[in-house]
Structure 1
């Protein structure tokens, strides 16, 4: 007697809810700079654009408000929140120490192809510096550059802390380079120095200090541009 084959049951892919789809779309537009500080989120207009009812739009906006990306004011409505200078400085100061330590520990483990990728990203950043500067693209490349250098860090706990701070930073920075027209060119040159130290096998403290100082300079220039006192 031939055994009867059981039919193969395939599960249908899980669909994304309307609220989730709206949330992802709005969040991406905010983080990419399409919706800038003060931009009003008109719920009915967004609902028509994304072909949904106002209910999922309202749910998505509440999530964005909880993340600190949107503010909701009575009789005004929802607006994209500006960069909170104090949150920015706190996050950058934390990143300076975490990235410095992670890059220093990662340096002996960075393979040639990873260093070449970091150089390529830095050259792409250099190409952006000029009259048609794109702060959103520059910020994205800058984050990729530092991730490439840190990924080889053998301390998984440190990497976990760093990844959480990167996520937090993406919520509070949103193209801060736009506020510092002279900073991008200097930042690229500081990347050159970091790469030179890593390539030369410099001592861990030297690499760590170069990365930490690089981040702190960016933070302090941003604070100065906003009329705030730089941090030591």
Structure 2
């Protein structure tokens, strides 16, 4: 791929950033993979300078980390860090969903229902990436009804920061597809029937935590199996 092929107008640093981020998100570059500047520069037909800038940007966003004597590599998923991050996200999503429940319009609720039906189709196809993207849209539809702009800004930053890990979570625990769809249906019912905010908040928070806990259990099992080999 060349810079021209990736679209006119974008800087070389931006092109390198988009290219690498897409490969990381799609797991073409798996967690732990080394990022060799010269090799990437040759692939993109550019110098190492914009590639280095792109990698620094990805590092700031959490997609890339530096390890001594190794260099830049795709960030691996740390179970403890992931769970801590998801616990914080669950608190934010829970409160935003609850505070928006009394303000959400019928049209916005219908949109959330439509997204959940599409989630069911993606689950049946086993498309983890598409499912995770739609899952965020579902929660954005419910949380977005909140009138707390600062809270919504925090949520957007957390969603973006956790993008890589959340794209991987459903792939780690495919059994959560059907469970998550059913929990969404229950959450929609709670919102539609005007359930108390405390009930909505607790349910929304626990919904996010169930996926996090299942993913952590899967990561820990995988790590134990690798240690035994």
State the TM-score bracket (shorter-chain normalisation): 0.7 to 0.9
Q: Look up the match of 1:52.
A: 46
State how 1:128-143 maps to structure 2 within 5 Å.
128-130=122-124, 132-143=125-136
State how 1:136-151 maps to structure 2 within 5 Å.
136-151=129-144
Q: Look up the match of 2:192.
A: 199
Higher helix share: 2
Q: Which has the larger displacement, 189-198 or 17-26?
A: 17-26
List per-residue Cα deviations over 1:60-92 (Å, max 9, x = no partner): 223323433223446644321222222211111
Q: CA RMSD in A?
A: 2.2
Within the alignment, does 1:62 sit opposite 2:56 as a pair? Answer: yes
Q: Look up the match of 2:21.
A: 27
Q: Which whole-Å CA distance do the structure 2 matches of 1:32 and 1:113 have between them?
A: 32
- Larger Rg, first or second structure (1 or 2): 1
Q: CA deviation at 1:210?
A: 1.1
Within the alignment, does 1:123 sit opposite 2:128 as a pair? Answer: no
Q: Which whole-Å CA distance do the structure 2 matches of 1:119 and 1:96 have between them?
A: 20
What are the ranges of 5 or more consecutive residues in structure 1 without an aligned counterpart? 1-14
Counterpart selection for 1:173 from 152, 163, 166: 166
State how 1:44-123 maps to structure 2 within 5 Å.
44-73=38-67, 76-123=70-117
What are the ranges of 5 or more consecutive residues in structure 2 without an aligned counterpart? 1-8, 222-229
Q: CA deviation at 1:168?
A: 2.2
Q: Look up the match of 2:156.
A: 163
State how 1:206-217 maps to structure 2 within 5 Å.
206-217=199-210
Contact 1:96 1:216 in 2 (8 A): yes
Q: CA deviation at 1:155?
A: 1.8
Within the alignment, does 1:36 sit opposite 2:30 as a pair? Answer: yes
What SS is found at the alignment partner of 1:34?
coil
List per-residue Cα deviations over 1:160-188 (Å, max 9, x = no partner): 22222222222543321111121111011
